[in-house]
A = this chain, B = another copy of it.
């Protein structure tokens, strides 16, 4: 009965996150595959499937929230990938994270920026820091 939500979620996830979420699902497989299913069904089958915001606007919201929360670096990296995949530029992502300094303080903003930087380096958007 949840198959339809799962299928729809997987489709949205593929549009948004590309391969970035695959490692997460793989790592959950032998401990809590249902948690992975819920993320796909609820996060991407329900929430991301809703009209009213574009994928780009949704990623702006998610990158902002994950930066502000401060304890979600691995998920922030997945959504920096996602943001880039749905049309955000590196500079727009940098802007969102800088903006968070006013709402969550410099430490959350800095740690978010360094998580994002890892993705930018991985994708060749900035040179690897040596």
Contact = CB atoms under 8 A, between A and B. Distances in A.
A129 B30 contact: yes
A33 to B, nearest CB: 10
Contact of A53 (B30, B95, B107): B95
Given A39-B110, A61-B100, 16 more contacts: A27-B117, A31-B113, A35-B98, A39-B106, A47-B98, A57-B60, A60-B64, A61-B63, A61-B96, A62-B99, A68-B105, A69-B107, A71-B71, A71-B111, A72-B108, A103-B107
Interface in A33-89: 34-35, 38-39, 42-43, 46-47, 50, 52-53, 57-58, 60-72, 74-75
B61 A98 contact: no
A2 B1 CA distance: 8
Contact of A111 (B42, B57, B72): B72
Interface residues of A, number: 66
Contacts of A98: 32, 34-35, 38, 47, 50
